[in-house]
Structure 1
Amino acid sequence: MRTKLATAAGALLAVAASMFAAPPAAQAAEAATGFHVSAGRLLDANGNDFVLRGVNHAHTWYPGRTAQALADVKALGANSVRVVLSTGDRWTKNGTDDVKAVVAQCKANRLICVLEPHDTTGYGEQAGAVSLDRAVDYWTEVQDAVKGQEKYVILNLGNEPHGNSGYAAWTADTSKAIGRMRTAGFDHTLMADAPNWGQDWSFTMRDNAPGVFAADPMRNTVFSIHMYGVFDTAPEVSDYLNRFVSRGLPVVVGEFGDAHSDGNPDEDAILATAERLGLGYLGWSWSGNGGGVEYLDMATGFDASRLSPWGQRIFNGPNGIKQTAEEASVFGTSTGDTQAPTGPGSPSASEVTSSSLRLNWAPATDNTAVTAYDVVRVDGTQETRVATTTTPGAALTGLTPSTRYTFAVYARDAAGNRSPRSATLSVTTPAGPVAGSCAVTYRLSDWGHGFNADVTIRNTGTQAVKGWRLDFAFPGSQTLTSSWNAKVVQDGKRLRATNEPWNETIPAGGTVSFGMSGTSTGANGIPAEFLLNSSLCQRS
């Protein structure tokens, strides 16, 4: 049995096998006015099958970002969002009026709202964490914000309510919490997170889910597994989820990422298995991660036009949100609005570098409201969408030096009506560093199972480099766990480091440095090559 350590993002640990009888057919969900479970499936208030396809947003730490974040994830195709709240025990309390506002924003964006109090994270192991009993007290305190919203809101009892100590109490604690919620008059679909920091390596939730489901008098509970380092192979992912499906028990992947300090989760398997089984998933997380897990940000700096590789994967990749999400039928199939917005103003470019630029344009107008702008690259009669934003303006990255681009913008409203295309703008990116105008020093400190690496980039050219990315690959089986002075993300063996705001520019003849830590299996060494903004650098 594997065990792992907990981290700030919230989950961590291992998997195996065992079968249990399905709950009796007589335990079908009672009639409900909102979301409800039937035959192991989550149905909306109209009785239609609903599959969660969304992300997590840390509202309690970034309340000022919520309105924009919800609009952005909707524009990118999500049908739901899991919103982090606080009971006030560990972070600033989200009271009744605040929760009401969150629900209203979800509904305005036609998103199903999964609400979760985060203060329960790692109870029994994490200092300051509170029990599910306390979480029920909180739900009772803010009940006016959620009762009557059963069509639009799912209540996640408490985030990762047990760590790696005392997790055997999960079954009794969760059953008791469900009972108290029903006694208090909550008719919502309830969501129960797994113990072991959400990853259920002990199989406590997996093995006891039938009894917990039966303890709900409404038979309206969904189980949530958080998949990080424990779920690093496709067989583990498939085995765990299939054990719920085969017993007619509803399950969703309430959190997961594409990398983690406790191991490398198999995000491709998670997405593919969830799609094959018709199960919901909610990726962690939109933006604002800290404590060494910044690589889990989907949007850099809460900017929807600057999706990270993880953001691109979950929104735009195979089995991702854009490809698979369907809006809940409770929002209706049409708003009845057929009037298109006016065309946006002519775009202009600023902050032009060899690999990026910023487009700006005057806003469009609409009889209701403009909800999104689509930026397209125009190549003759062909158009390719390169960014979606909810406000006028978009930062475009990943451009090629010395290349002529033509861009235009469309506006959309909530009914999906699209405006005429704006005027086009053509811009040529300046030349980037030529081959040989950069050198990289990679100093490795390896102690067998782990390592540190200090990386220095020297600009050997005659022009400053503003806005940099460094691409390279680990030589063996290494896994990134943290970085400093750069944002570093890993995809297989490949890594990409990009600048922080304070070291955006490498002066001519100057240097910037950043560091990394990681785990290692087998031989380690110096990467074979480094590319600075797509140009090959010398190794020094």
Structure 2
Amino acid sequence: MKKILSVAGAALLTVLTAVFAFGQPAHAAAGFSVSNGKLYDANGTEFIMRGVSHAHTWYPQQTSSFANIKALGANSVRVVLASGDRWTKNDAADVANVISLCKANKLICVLEVHDTTGYGEQSGAITLDKAVTYWLSIASALQGQEKYVIVNIGNEPYGNQGYGTWATDTANAIKRLRAGGITHTIMVDGPNWGQDWSFTMRDNASTVFNADPQKNTVFSIHMYGVFDTAAEITDYLGRFRTAKLPIVVGEFGNMHSDGDPDEDTIMSYSQANGIGYLGWSWSGNGGGVEYLDMVTNFNPSQLSSWGQRIFNGANGIKQTAREASVYSGSTPPPTTAPPTTAPPTTAPPTTAPPTTAPPTSPPPGNGGCTARYTITNSWQGGFQAEVSVTAGSSAINGWTVRWTYANGQTVSQFWSVTITNSGSAYTARNVDYNGRLGAGASTSFGFLGSAGSTNTAPAVTCTAS
């Protein structure tokens, strides 16, 4: 016997079929949602990010970049914004314009606040809580844009110190955003300058995810020198996939001052496993990492070797990106998923200062040490330096390096070390993971500084503890 469904019953069946077919919660139909470790757009179609970062807050005049990034095949763009604490605030009107540029070019807009970068280690960095205050202050620009916008709470919210509260602080930030009416998918960066060498994000991801009342949070790992082998990349990303927690590579490059990331594995593993990636960055890098520019001087016809690799290479953006179905209405998910000169005074030289993974089994000891100071790059008014520290004939538990500048130089930003000064006299002490060195073993730290026309490398001394 035929049974005729009522109109209401048929409609309900259609909704339920869509929900079960895509495994996404019904509440998320207004925008992006997360289910079973995957990201879905508002049509219930899986969305895998293939895009790049654009430093909008330091180059607000470069509005043509959105169209140029799209023309090279990207389906998303991560847009650098500022809360007003370290750089000029991008207000609601400006953010609304950024979103309109993304939509006009059929790009998914991942918006991030950069002022949090390196909190606890970099002077002036703000807390995640303060970043939330910014997001709530521009909520009018975000409301109604859930189909097109993902909110990346804060860029690299901790350096290599004080990151133990990452899970609590991140969970509280998510809950405060939700209480303030932000219903978008939220993206959260790992600590340790985004590279999570301490596995703080990895080991606390489920707790943070469950703290979101909407269960609509994506985790972002930044892959630079810490991720220089295929094993490290596949293990880190694979653990999230096994746990069915959503992960994207929110930043990566083809080289970096802290080591040589394995971009081939990052891209191939991401493609094989349905993981999104966002390369750093379109253009405008400075301070010695100009090689991270994908195009020269924002000119899309001047692709760098990095730009050629990420856009046109194997498993690159042009080959693998699929436009979000909220724009095309019919694009299926990828078939393989799953089985410079110094920057302007307001722009940092790079989003990911170098960091080093901690030794797996630091040796005990208390011997002597030596240090060597090298100027690795310089430009008008500034420079980048590296200091290597080497243990003597026996192991050491910690070290202190001292030097005095003779030409009025000053240190402005540093990594893998704690630096203090009294006038021209500087003292650098190891951080928690690189103080213990075996006999003859070495580590290094680096920093950016200001200098006049004379920049003589100072003599350095090393004292072990």
TM range (shorter): 0.5 to 0.7
1:50 aligns with 2:62: no
Which residue does 1:309 correspond to in 2?
Answer: 305
Aligned to 1:305, what secondary structure does the other structure show?
A: strand
Which residue does 2:117 correspond to in 1?
Answer: 121
The one-character-per-residue Cα deviations of 1:61-90 (angstroms, maximum 9, x if unpaired) are 00000x211110100000000000000000
Runs of 5+ consecutive residues of structure 1 not aligned to the other structure: 1-26, 335-446, 453-480, 486-520, 522-540
Which structure has the larger Rg? 1
Cα deviation, residue 29, structure 1: 4.5
Aligned to 2:170, what secondary structure does the other structure show?
A: helix
1:142 aligns with 2:133: no
- Select which of 153, 160, 167 maps to 1:157: 153
The one-character-per-residue Cα deviations of 1:309-341 (angstroms, maximum 9, x if unpaired) are 00000000000000000000000248xxxxxxx
- Select which of 209, 217, 223 maps to 2:219: 223
**Amino acid aligned to 2:54:** H
1:203-242 paired onto structure 2 within 5 Å: 203-242=199-238
Aligned to 2:27, what secondary structure does the other structure show?
A: coil
The one-character-per-residue Cα deviations of 1:105-126 (angstroms, maximum 9, x if unpaired) are 0000000000001000011111
Which residue does 2:400 correspond to in 1?
Answer: none
Percent of aligned pairs with the same residue? 65
Cα deviation, residue 30, structure 1: 5.6
Which residue does 2:32 correspond to in 1?
Answer: 35
- Select which of 316, 322, 329 maps to 1:320: 316
The answer to whether the 8 Å contact 2:51/2:75 transfers is yes
**Amino acid aligned to 2:44:** G
Cα distance between partner residues in 1 of 2:133 and 2:285:
28
Aligned to 1:72, what secondary structure does the other structure show?
A: helix
Cα distance between partner residues in 2 of 1:448 and 1:234:
32
Cα distance between partner residues in 1 of 2:26 and 2:251:
28
The answer to whether the 8 Å contact 1:30/1:218 transfers is no
Which residue does 1:100 correspond to in 2?
Answer: 96
**Amino acid aligned to 1:47:** G
The answer to whether the 8 Å contact 1:28/1:219 transfers is no
Which residue does 2:282 correspond to in 1?
Answer: 286
Cα deviation, residue 449, structure 1: 8.4
1:64 aligns with 2:61: yes
Cα deviation, residue 155, structure 1: 0.2
Gap change, CA 1:51 and 1:483, over 3 Å in 2:
farther
Cα distance between partner residues in 1 of 2:95 and 2:80:
10
Gap change, CA 1:295 and 1:450, over 3 Å in 2:
farther
Which residue does 2:264 correspond to in 1?
Answer: 268
Runs of 5+ consecutive residues of structure 2 not aligned to the other structure: 1-22, 331-369, 381-440, 442-465
The one-character-per-residue Cα deviations of 1:28-53 (angstroms, maximum 9, x if unpaired) are 74611100001110000000000000
Which residue does 1:348 correspond to in 2?
Answer: none
The answer to whether the 8 Å contact 1:156/1:190 transfers is yes
The answer to whether the 8 Å contact 2:74/2:318 transfers is yes
TM-score by length of 2: 0.67
The one-character-per-residue Cα deviations of 1:424-466 (angstroms, maximum 9, x if unpaired) are xxxxxxxxxxxxxxxxxxxxxxx998977xxxxxxxxxxxxxx
Gap change, CA 1:332 and 1:58, over 3 Å in 2:
same
Gap change, CA 1:307 and 1:451, over 3 Å in 2:
same
The answer to whether the 8 Å contact 1:29/1:220 transfers is no
Which residue does 1:352 correspond to in 2?
Answer: none
Cα deviation, residue 290, structure 1: 1.0
Cα deviation, residue 141, structure 1: 0.4
Superposition RMSD in Å: 2.2
**Amino acid aligned to 1:277:** N
**Amino acid aligned to 1:54:** G
Cα deviation, residue 57, structure 1: 0.2
The one-character-per-residue Cα deviations of 1:330-367 (angstroms, maximum 9, x if unpaired) are 00248xxxxxxxxxxxxxxxxxxxxxxxxxxxxxxxxx
**Amino acid aligned to 2:133:** D
The one-character-per-residue Cα deviations of 1:261-314 (angstroms, maximum 9, x if unpaired) are 000111111111111111000000000001211110000010000000000000
Aligned to 1:120, what secondary structure does the other structure show?
A: coil
The answer to whether the 8 Å contact 2:166/2:191 transfers is yes
Gap change, CA 1:108 and 1:206, over 3 Å in 2:
same
Which residue does 1:190 correspond to in 2?
Answer: 186
The one-character-per-residue Cα deviations of 1:226-245 (angstroms, maximum 9, x if unpaired) are 00000001110000000000
1:255 aligns with 2:251: yes
Which residue does 2:69 correspond to in 1?
Answer: 73
1:411-422 paired onto structure 2 within 5 Å: none
Aligned to 1:177, what secondary structure does the other structure show?
A: helix
Gap change, CA 1:322 and 1:483, over 3 Å in 2:
farther
- Select which of 295, 300, 322 maps to 2:291: 295
Cα distance between partner residues in 2 of 1:29 and 1:99:
28
Q: Per residue, is there more strand in 1 or in 2?
A: 1
**Amino acid aligned to 1:209:** A
TM-score by length of 1: 0.57
Which residue does 2:336 correspond to in 1?
Answer: none
Cα deviation, residue 218, structure 1: 0.4
Cα distance between partner residues in 1 of 2:66 and 2:214:
30
The answer to whether the 8 Å contact 2:24/2:33 transfers is no
The answer to whether the 8 Å contact 1:257/1:267 transfers is yes
Cα distance between partner residues in 2 of 1:310 and 1:141:
36
Cα distance between partner residues in 2 of 1:327 and 1:448:
52
Cα distance between partner residues in 1 of 2:199 and 2:325:
34
Aligned residues: 321
Which residue does 1:332 correspond to in 2?
Answer: 328
The answer to whether the 8 Å contact 2:153/2:187 transfers is yes
The answer to whether the 8 Å contact 2:24/2:44 transfers is no
Gap change, CA 1:28 and 1:80, over 3 Å in 2:
closer
The one-character-per-residue Cα deviations of 1:472-525 (angstroms, maximum 9, x if unpaired) are xxxxxxxxx64769xxxxxxxxxxxxxxxxxxxxxxxxxxxxxxxxxxx9xxxx
